[in-house]
Amino acid sequence: MSGLLDGVTVLDLASVGPAVRASGWLADYGASIIKVAPVPRDAGTQIIPKAHYYSGGRGTRTVQIDLKAPAGRDAFLRLAENADVVIESFRPGVVARLGIGYDDVKSRNPRIVYCSTSGYGQTGPRAQGAGHDVNYLAVSGFLATGERGPADKPMIPGATIADSAGGGLQAVAAILAALVGRERTGEGAYLDVAVADGMLALMSLQIDDVLATGTPQLPGSAPLSGRYACYDTYRCADGEYVAVGAIEAKFFANLCNALGVPECIEHQMADAAQDPIRVKIAAAFATKPRDAWVAELAGADTCVSPVLSATEVAADPAVAARDGIATAHPAAGDDFPQLAPMLAGAERASRYELPGRSTTDTDAVLAECGMTPEEIKVLRDEGAVA
């Protein structure tokens, strides 16, 4: 693959989570990703995702190194001498104990950009705490923002927002900024990427409002969290839903006129009128199937869109029109479709070769950093690499 990050080499020590998403997106921008995986006897200590997860590892090569073995640690540091970026997602303190932390790598390569991704950061009272996506959504205030579900429970979103946007994209942005800064200073950087911090950034609209006004944010009280009928979802005649985002007065007027409820226009932001408005809008949408409404309102500036399932998105002509679907060709097995690189500036192709899981690139990658076949054989005989 080629792209904006041609010539940038990334060592990725993670197998799942934000770090893997970050390295996958960096690969889509053209970086060369080297996945540093455990040797087979330690493989059970890490989660092994399905073969097609995380873009199937496109743009990625794999080396297997036992980082607990002194020879394996030294092999990793040899690789790091020629790398631009290291991404790791161990618990805080682990890489330092292994002898592959930022200070260890920096002593061999002062230009390294070293990105540690974790749930709660390298410092602070939660630093050593275990967590997953829902935990970071919880402590950032995200879960408490919207309408409550059954039994008045906070509703869990069906996508890993924290790992992806709070962590993975934050890591990508930080790495790119550090690479740009390195061109000016000649020095790399250490990046402490916390998923919970990234979620705070995503929650800035709500949290800044609390800080500035002191007004509590109750579930559904914010303008974009279900408070108003002009920003909500509605069930259609076929049981499917549409999403309405007609916040601006002109869009709401267009919607009300199209639905035959013009009397609602002047009461758009009146809190006392929201329930009656919702009833009228809901009754109108209930008269036709979802796709009929979407077709009828297309081009009418009403901010109405269909609520699509993942299955529908995969077959959506709009996605195909943006070259959003590519063909993946795994090293073993049949071709299958997958999402193409979707971030702006990432080059898209119609077909991608994916690495195989039964083989590694250990010998080739170690040779590229100057190791002789004899040195690699010694490492393999010792069980330090595979």
pLDDT in tens, 281-321: 999 999 999 999 999 999 999 999 999 999 999 999 999 99
Average the pLDDT over 11-15 and give the result: 94
**Residues whose CB is less than 8 angstroms from the CB of residue 116 and which lie 6 or more positions away in sequence, other chains included:** 88, 89, 90, 92, 95, 102, 122, 190, 191, 192, 193
Amino acid, res. 354: L
| Residue 104 parent element (H or E) | helix 102-108
Q: What per-residue confidence (pLDDT) applies to 158?
A: 87
What is the reported pTM?
A: 0.92
**Residues whose CB is less than 8 angstroms from the CB of residue 54 and which lie 6 or more positions away in sequence, other chains included:** 16, 20, 21, 24
Q: What per-residue confidence (pLDDT) applies to 356?
A: 79
The upper half-sphere exposure of residue 217, i.e. CA atoms within 13 Å in the direction of its Cβ, equals 24
Distance CA 327, CA 317 (A): 16
Task: Supply the residues annotated as catalytic.
Answer: 132, 163
Cα diameter, the chain:
83
Between 284 and 348, the higher pLDDT residue: 284
357, pLDDT greater than 80 = no
- What is the pLDDT of the chain when averaged over all its residues? 94
Distance CA 28, CA 182 (A): 21
Distance CA 47, CA 17 (A): 10
Q: What per-residue confidence (pLDDT) applies to 385?
A: 96
pLDDT band at 196 (very low <50, low <70, confident <90, very high): very high
**Range of lowest pLDDT (87-91, 126-130, 143-147, 303-307):** 143-147
pLDDT band at 333 (very low <50, low <70, confident <90, very high): confident
Amino acid, res. 4: L
Average the pLDDT over 138-148 and give the result: 88
Q: What per-residue confidence (pLDDT) applies to 47?
A: 64
**Residues whose CB is less than 8 angstroms from the CB of residue 99 and which lie 6 or more positions away in sequence, other chains included:** 73, 77
Supply 69's token pair: 């073995």
Torsion sign over Cα 168, 321, 52, 346 = negative
Task: Evaluate whether 355 touches 62 at the Cβ level (below 8 Å).
Answer: yes
pLDDT in tens, 40-93: 864 445 567 788 888 989 999 999 999 999 999 999 999 999 999 999 999 999
pLDDT in tens, 211-257: 999 988 888 787 888 899 999 999 999 999 999 999 999 999 999 99
Q: Which residue has the tokens 């690969």?
A: 27
